[in-house]
Chains A and B, each alone.
Chain A
Amino acid sequence: MNTPDETTATPLLELRGISKTFPGVKALDDVSFALYAGEVHMLLGENGAGKSSLMKVLCGAYSADAGEFFYKGEKVTIASTADAQKLGIAVIFQEFSLVPYLDIAQNIFLGREPKGRIPGTIDRRKILADAKRLLDTIGFDIDPSVVVNTLGVAQQQMVEIAKAISQNARILVMDEPTAALSDRETELLFALIARLKADGVSIVYISHRMAEVFALGDRITVLRDGRRIDGVRPADVTPDQLVRMMVGRTVDMTYPRNFADKPGEVLLHVKGLTSPSGISDINIEVRRGEIVGLCGLVGSGRTEVARAIFGADPVAAGEIMFDGKPISGEPDIAARRGIALIPESRKSEGLALLRSVGDNLVVSALRKLFPSGLFDPRSGQRTADGLIRQLRIATPSARQTVGLLSGGNQQKVVIGKWLAAGAKLFIFDEPTRGIDVGAKSEIFALIDRLVAEGAAALMISSEQVEICHVCDRAYVMREGRVAGHLTRNELTEENIVRLGMHHA
């Protein structure tokens, strides 16, 4: 290995003491990070550990609240994406930023097209020739006049990389670049990375796959809770040691939970569920009186499982049994049978923000409250007032516009609408996202009471601490499948992370 020796060489890029705070969250806390020329530097951490924030600071999308940047030992500022570009930093995002209806050459030279002889025109021949030369240097054999939206994910990624190289990028930041690639495509990407390294390009590589970390990485930086935990070389650690560095997030409090001695009958039984949204052969069981966790990394298919059960995504194969009978169809059927979905993005999927608290609280219960089909505003108001008291929703009245409430109170409204509808199974997707600590504990107390009264809950959460504290047991997902099941005794952060990461 021709890895540079960090004791003698000057880093190509160095970040010292970077901090970034968002309202209520310290995304990065005094993080230092050194990148040497021609190395692949792996960035590791759980969901929310600060990898994305660090990446965005690196490429100038976020400006850091504190900290310094050094390029080849000289102090520089990265306050904008233009600053980052000048230093040769380019990011290959998971969602590509190519223009779908332009061809490869046009995408590579977008905004920098060589001018033709007639003013206002583009030298088409030159742009194609330049693109071809560029694609050859990265070993991508394709006609540059092919339109981008006909390309597969791997090929689009290659175009992104070619575009970065054409802008003289010396530092490439890749965010889970192999997430959507086949094994063969992954091999091609790895070959390209080796070639780029040989040319002295440095790569910051975010990955959740252990095998990649050890196969590609020259060095590894582990983040947790916005802090840099350690920097190591792959040769000096084992996968288990890395997992232990990633977990162990600090918590300020414990959550109330009265575990039942023995769970009730099976309420939800999912057999071999497969959906075109990207999940396959899901087998899950939830009993009355249980809170069952559904964990895994972001993008592992947790939300897709919830949506398929609720009928929001189509089901390609498999069977969903609810309360002893099969269920299929649109969400209105699931809702009528007693399934509730509390979606992750409350504002866009859970609430009609401009409508009143009262309107939002009764919207799912209209059929139950008014079986004749005639709506009585006063009776609807009474139901809403009752829920506001029961859930202690902080609002001046049921007439208040729901968009004006705090996140925690909005979440209570979403839960409240399903209480009014008499739901039996509550599927929570990140129920505590964007909610303050006090409201969190109230929400967990509420879920605890619901299941104690005979309901059941399936809870998706990236907060592994929460899963460990409140769940009876949990399923861990990885790449669209259930990778494992953890009983109450096995439920530790370490086990969740280990099952959720790719070891193959």
Chain B
Amino acid sequence: MTDITKEALSPPRSFLSQDAIQLFYRLLAVFLICAVLAVLNDSFLSLGNILNVLRQASLTFFIASGLTLVVLTAGLDLSVGANVALSACIAGTVIHTTGSPVLGILTGLACGGIVGLLNGIMVTALRIPSFIATYGMLWVLNGLTYWYMAGETLHGFPAGFRQIGSGYLFGLPIPVYLLLVFLGIGTLFAQRTIWGQEIYAIGANPVAARLSGIPVTRRLLLVYAVSGTMAGLASIIFLSRLNSAEADIGESLTLPAIAAVLIGGTSLFGGVGTVFGTFVGALILTLVLNGMNLLSVSANWQPLVTGIIVILAVWLDMKTRRRAQ
């Protein structure tokens, strides 16, 4: 036999994996932001404020977690915000007419999921690039929601239903429990199921994934349906927290969710990223906005700061990855 095994081996990678290094940097960033804010403002470390940050982060995270899976396949879902609005309005109507919060919740989730599935069908069966398919869907959903609501506002929901968004359990807001639950489910799904592994493989090289026997179409349908369903879940929490629904509630949600995914280290080129990273991304985004509020910085500066953080995070990721190769 020949000595191919003896050929020069490339040097082994550093002790920590690339993902671990990136996560470490992000947690360090969270710690630094917290430290700076704690020094600058006494009320930052108060329990009330910390719980508030977590609750805010949870809303972004629900939308962003489903979106993470889409981005892992090198796709994008621009319709999540509009999906939240439509799902919230439909779920709110169902609760009003039937008086059953359970039925309303199920309708909201189903509405979100169906929209997601339609996105998936456009991307797979019709082969429309996800960016365009979901951008079109954004307008369609907006149109449907405005037509359906006709300028009306739904408000006043049963007290029990309102607990989901604004209630507490053992001193912690209920959305924070939901956050932990879905962080766990999302992480397990991505890291510890064969579907999750296949999603990473599809994002890394869709052609090779198909020729490796992965049912690419079915996995993509799943991913877009999950993204839509998570938007449906977010719609329920919004509805419950705001105790009202209007056609325009989704308009400020999509871009922050994408920001959380990117700040969290998921690559728009697919195959790289984690759901936990997205949680940290949502946390960083919320902390910075919270800090600016506490320090009485005008809210007008917030978009600018968000933009700079996104660009910095992605640039640093690309730099470390390039160095690793």
Residues of A within 8 A of B (CB): 310, 312, 330-332, 334-336, 341, 343, 348-355, 359, 362-364, 366-367, 370, 373-377, 392, 394-397, 399-401, 403-406, 408-409, 417, 421, 436-439, 441-442, 445
Whether A375 contacts B12 by the Cβ 8 Å rule is: no
Within 8 A of A (CB), among B181-213: 191-198, 200-201, 204-205, 207-213
Whether A332 contacts B214 by the Cβ 8 Å rule is: yes
CA distance A98 to B217 in the complex (A): 34
Interface segment among B2-10, B125-133, B150-158, B232-240: the answer is: B2-10
Residue B325 lies at the interface, judged by CB distance under 8 Å to chain A: yes
A375-B191, A442-B4 known; A353-B211 Cβ under 8 A: no
By Cβ-Cβ distance, the 5 closest A-B pairs, closest first, are: A335-B213, A438-B2, A352-B204, A366-B194, A396-B12
A354-B204, A366-B194, A406-B7 known; A310-B2 Cβ under 8 A: no
Interchain residue pairs with CB less than 8 A apart (22)? A332-B213, A349-B211, A352-B204, A352-B208, A352-B209, A354-B204, A354-B272, A355-B204, A359-B197, A359-B200, A375-B193, A375-B196, A392-B1, A396-B9, A396-B10, A401-B13, A404-B10, A404-B325, A406-B7, A408-B4, A438-B2, A442-B2
Whether A363 contacts B325 by the Cβ 8 Å rule is: no
A351-B205, A355-B204, A409-B4 known; A374-B193 Cβ under 8 A: yes
Residues of B within 8 A of A336 (CB): 213
A355-B200, A394-B7, A442-B4 known; A363-B271 Cβ under 8 A: no
CA distance A407 to B191 in the complex (A): 29
Whether A310 contacts B194 by the Cβ 8 Å rule is: no
CA distance A355 to B269 in the complex (A): 13
A352-B205, A355-B271 known; A417-B212 Cβ under 8 A: yes
Whether B194 contacts A335 by the Cβ 8 Å rule is: no
A451 nearest CB across to chain B (Å): 19
Residue B300 lies at the interface, judged by CB distance under 8 Å to chain A: no
Q: Which residue of B lies closest to A370 (CB)?
A: B194
A443 nearest CB across to chain B (Å): 10
A332-B214, A399-B17, A442-B2 known; A349-B10 Cβ under 8 A: no
B265 nearest CB across to chain A (Å): 14
Residues of A within 8 A of B191 (CB): 375, 377
Residues of A within 8 A of B217 (CB): 330
Given A350-B211, A401-B13, A404-B10, 10 further pairs, Cβ under 8 A: A352-B204, A354-B271, A355-B271, A359-B201, A362-B197, A363-B212, A364-B213, A366-B194, A377-B192, A437-B2
CA distance A465 to B308 in the complex (A): 60
Residues of B within 8 A of A406 (CB): 4, 7
Q: Which residue of A lies closest to B206 (CB)?
A: A352
A366-B194, A366-B197 known; A392-B4 Cβ under 8 A: yes
Residues of B within 8 A of A350 (CB): 208, 211
Q: Which residue of B lies closest to A392 (CB)?
A: B5
**Please, what's the 1-or-0 string for B174-186, where 1 marks a CB less than 8 Å from any CB in chain A?**
0000000000000
A348-B207, A348-B208, A367-B194 known; A442-B1 Cβ under 8 A: yes
Whether A334 contacts B193 by the Cβ 8 Å rule is: no
A205 nearest CB across to chain B (Å): 35
Q: Which of B9, B205, B212 contacts A395 (CB 8 A)?
A: B9
Whether B211 contacts A438 by the Cβ 8 Å rule is: no
Residue B215 lies at the interface, judged by CB distance under 8 Å to chain A: yes
Whether B195 contacts A438 by the Cβ 8 Å rule is: no
Q: Which residue of A lies closest to B215 (CB)?
A: A332
B195 nearest CB across to chain A (Å): 7
Q: Which residue of B lies closest to A404 (CB)?
A: B10
